[in-house]
Structure 1
Amino acid sequence: MHDPAYPSSSPEPADAVGYQDASDALTQVITWYSQQLLAERRSPAPAPERLNRLIAEHKECVRDRARLEDATPAELARITALYAARLKKLEANGP
């Protein structure tokens, strides 16, 4: 959010995708994976292959979130779009 009391030295265009958008998109996907992991672990017969896949994909998301600090605006926009699409796919079809 822009605070007029602290003008930015390099103003962003109004439609620029920022760090918070990318972080929010990643957090939503990480939350989805966390919920699926919990459900699978609590299942009477957890599927080892599914657990391993969920764990690997969850770790990938966590690594991507850790790299946000150094991402360029273009990379932030790419990550936001990628993870927004991924969340839609996961919610519609599962992993």
Structure 2
Amino acid sequence: MHDPASPSSSSEPADAVSPQASADLVEEVMAWYSRALLAERRAPHPDPERLEHLLARRKECVDDRARLEEASTEETARIAASYAARLKELKGP
């Protein structure tokens, strides 16, 4: 019986990342920045530079999420790899 989930049945390369998986990574990073923004805003003395930095990074996430709508397979994989690395860095050791 033919398994439709097997890699040989896909027309995409084996290392291709689905647009949804990439979007999920971007959204997870975006959520991290949103939580950090909320925490910074609630701090007794919010740091304006940190707020600006966090807002800029979250805006990048929004922009990259929108780019995924029409991204090529290669661009989707690049975005996914970038956000996977960033998420690992944000979550720390």
Q: TM-score, normalised by structure 1?
A: 0.82
Shifted more, 14-23 versus 82-91: the winner is 14-23
| Secondary structure in 1 matching 2:92 | helix
Give 1:44's aligned residue: 44
Task: Kindly provide the amino acid, as one letter, of the partner of residue 38 in structure 1.
Answer: L
Q: TM-score, normalised by structure 2?
A: 0.84
Task: Kindly provide the amino acid, as one letter, of the partner of residue 28 in structure 1.
Answer: E
In structure 2, C-alpha distance between the alignment counterparts of 1:50 and 1:91, rounded to whole Å: 17
Q: CA RMSD in A?
A: 1.7
Work out whether 1:23 is the aligned partner of 2:32. no
Give 2:55's aligned residue: 55
Q: Which segments of 5 or more consecutive residues in structure 2 lack a partner in the other structure?
A: 5-9
Q: Which segments of 5 or more consecutive residues in structure 1 lack a partner in the other structure?
A: 5-9
Give 1:7's aligned residue: none
Q: How many residues matched?
A: 85
Task: Kindly provide the amino acid, as one letter, of the partner of residue 68 in structure 1.
Answer: L
Task: Kindly provide the amino acid, as one letter, of the partner of residue 33 in structure 1.
Answer: Y
In structure 2, C-alpha distance between the alignment counterparts of 1:13 and 1:48, rounded to whole Å: 45
In structure 2, C-alpha distance between the alignment counterparts of 1:17 and 1:59, rounded to whole Å: 23
Give 2:7's aligned residue: none
Give 1:79's aligned residue: 79
% identity of equivalent residues: 60
